[in-house]
């Protein structure tokens, strides 16, 4: 088959892992196909460069119009305008065939520049609620790829330019997902993994040890606990588990999360989009405590499908306490067969082809072809034949 000419593609993503890691997964796929890929992000995003697919990275100005108070608003608006101007200059220099935005305000300038230049622009929404930067881009004519089937906040007139691709996953997650879930019925110990980033770790550092203390002694003795804990809570958590004689491994950060997820019988976590995608792909039963306080309650919406499918327990933070958590753990540990069912239900929501589907979508837009994301397109067949 004929192989297409490589395209030059610019990815634009906010400066957090939730935006950058899906962009990195797509970059790896596009590079495998022979395309030239570059990333535009802000100062925060530059700090992730050693954890991303190798590619040229360009720094753009970024600011949000939310937060900071009324007096900070003019400066933030000026920063956004400068982001658009500097992104225009960057896009004129790079001349990409398509710009793909992954949300967050660092994506705002490059995406707006692409629209002003009448380039094909695709934005990918990781969450179950359309973010503000992506919402504006879609209103102005960008195409949209979603991770969830019923993403809230999508303008009605954008329906024809929307496709559900799923959320791109890192290669190490996909390879680990090939290993089946390890049922606790066939294990002497029960492996519990607790993580949630710096903000998530704080409440988990208080509630989880208190809940473990409420479990019967035989269940505590059977636990093997791995938990992410912020530095300022490390000593207190270690002391708590030491007094309870619970087998535990406590760290501030895990750089081998796919392996940890695969080994876990159950996870307690936040509801970030990448976390939801990963535990679905790996089929890990979960207790999800969405991070409160966001304007769109995106984490609660992200977790809803897993909870509805019987793959997870969704607990709002105001209801998350030692008693409620201990009650759930007690109930489930008395019926370990439930974990196998939850794992199966989680895998039914997995999107292992998300990265390839998003790459197909981008290619079709860049080449102005009919959108085909579910059937192998010639550029993929050619690359892999």
CA distances from 261 to 24, 95, 209, 216, 375 (A): 20, 41, 20, 25, 31
Spatial distance between the Cα atoms of 30 and 360, rounded to a whole number of angstroms: 10
In which band, very low, low, confident or very high, does the pLDDT at 61 lie, cut at 50, 70 and 90?
confident
Lowest mean pLDDT among 67-76, 113-122, 186-195, 257-266: 67-76
267 and 155 part of one domain: no
More confident residue, 89 or 378: 89
For 246-290, what is each residue's pLDDT tens digit?
A: 999 999 988 899 999 999 999 999 999 999 999 999 999 999 999
Sign for the pseudo-dihedral over CA of 289, 291, 292, 297: negative
Residue 3 lies in a domain: no
Spatial separation of the C-alpha atoms in residues 91 and 242, rounded to whole Å: 56
Between 56-70, 275-289, 348-362, the lowest mean confidence (pLDDT) is in: 56-70
Q: Clarify whether residues 72 and 196 are in a common domain.
A: no
For the chain, how many structural domains are there in total? Answer: 2
**CA neighbor of 99 nearest in space, from 8, 22, 11, 5:** 11
Residues 96-101 have a mean pLDDT of 98
Q: Where are the alpha helices (DSSP H) in 95-232?
A: 108-116, 132-139, 171-176, 197-214, 217-221
Say if 372 falls within a structural domain.
Answer: yes
Global pTM?
0.90
Does residue 182 sit in the same domain as residue 158? no
CATH number at residue 53: 3.40.50.2000
Q: Is residue 185 domain-shared with residue 320, that is, in the same domain?
A: yes
Residues 276 and 241 placed together within one structural domain of the fold: yes
Q: Which helix (H) or strand (E) segment is 145 a member of?
A: strand 143-146
Collapsing DSSP states into helix, strand and coil, what is residue 135?
helix
Q: Is the pLDDT of residue 377 over 50?
A: no
> Quick one: average pLDDT of 3-28?
90
In a domain, 265, yes or no: yes
Question: What's the whole-number average pLDDT of the chain?
Answer: 90
- pLDDT above 70 for 244: yes
Q: Is 233 within the bounds of a domain?
A: yes
Q: Do 155 and 294 belong together in one domain?
A: no
89, part of any domain: yes
- Concatenated DSSP letters for 319-367? G--HHHHHHHHHHHHT-THHHHHHHHHHHTT--TTHHHHHHHHHHHHHT
Residue 109 lies in a domain: yes
**241 and 339 in one domain?**
yes
Given this model, what pLDDT does residue 1 score? 26
Evaluate whether residue 1 is within a structural domain. no
Residues 337 and 308 in one domain: yes
The structure tokens listed for 43 are 């100062």
Residues 202 and 159 in one domain: no
Structural domain boundaries, residue 328: 175-347
pLDDT tens digit sequence for 108-137: 999 999 999 999 999 999 999 999 889 999
Residues 369 and 264 in one domain: no
Is 194 among the domain residues?
Answer: yes
Sequence-distant (6+) residues with CB within 8 A of 217 are: none
Residues 198, 338 within the same domain: yes
Question: Which burial class, exposed, middle or buried, applies to 74 when counting CB atoms under 10 A from its CB (0-12, 13-18, 19+)?
Answer: exposed
Do 356 and 336 fall into the same domain? no
User: Is it the case that residue 210 has pLDDT exceeding 90?
Assistant: yes
Q: Let me know how long the chain is.
A: 385
Q: What is the mean pLDDT of residues 12-37?
A: 95
């Amino acid at each position: 088959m004929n192989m297409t000419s490589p395209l030059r593609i610019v990815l634009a993503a906010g400066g957090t892992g939730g935006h950058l890691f899906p962009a990195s997964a797509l970059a790896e796929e596009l590079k495998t196909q022979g395309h030239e890929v570059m990333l535009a992000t802000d100062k925060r995003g530059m700090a992730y460069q050693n954890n991303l697919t190798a590619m040229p990275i360009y720094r753009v100005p970024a600011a949000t119009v939310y937060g900071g108070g009324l007096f900070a608003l003019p400066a933030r608006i000026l920063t956004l305008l400068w982001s658009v101007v500097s992104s225009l200059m960057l896009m004129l220099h790079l001349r990409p065939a398509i710009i793909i935005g992954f949300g967050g305000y660092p994506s705002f300038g490059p995406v707006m520049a692409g629209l002003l230049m009448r380039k094909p622009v695709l934005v990918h929404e990781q969450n179950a609620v359309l973010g503000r930067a992506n919402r504006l881009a879609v209103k102005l004519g960008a195409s949209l790829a979603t991770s969830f089937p019923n993403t809230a906040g999508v303008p009605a007139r954008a329906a024809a330019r929307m496709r559900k691709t799923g959320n791109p996953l890192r290669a190490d997650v996909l390879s680990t997902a090939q290993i089946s879930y390890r049922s606790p019925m066939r294990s002497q110990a029960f492996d519990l993994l607790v993580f949630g980033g710096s903000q998530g770790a704080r409440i988990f550092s208080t509630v989880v040890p208190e809940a473990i203390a409420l479990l019967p002694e035989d269940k505590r003795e059977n636990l093997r606990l791995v938990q992410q804990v912020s530095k300022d809570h490390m000593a207190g958590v270690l002391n708590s588990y030491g007094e309870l004689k619970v087998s535990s491994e406590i760290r501030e950060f895990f750089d081998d999360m796919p392996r940890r997820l695969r080994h876990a019988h159950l996870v307690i976590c936040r509801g970030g989009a990448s976390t939801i995608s990963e535990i679905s792909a790996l089929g890990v039963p979960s207790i999800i405590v969405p991070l409160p306080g966001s304007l769109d309650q995106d984490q609660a919406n992200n977790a809803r499908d897993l909870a509805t499918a019987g793959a997870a327990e969704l607990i709002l933070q105001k209801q998350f306490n030692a008693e409620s958590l201990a009650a759930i753990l007690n109930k489930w540990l008395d019926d370990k067969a439930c974990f196998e069912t939850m794992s199966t239900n989680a895998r039914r929501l997995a999107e292992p082809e998300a990265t390839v589907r998003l790459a197909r979508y981008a290619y079709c837009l860049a080449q102005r072809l009919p959108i085909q994301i579910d059937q192998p397109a010639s550029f993929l067949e050619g690359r892999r034949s």
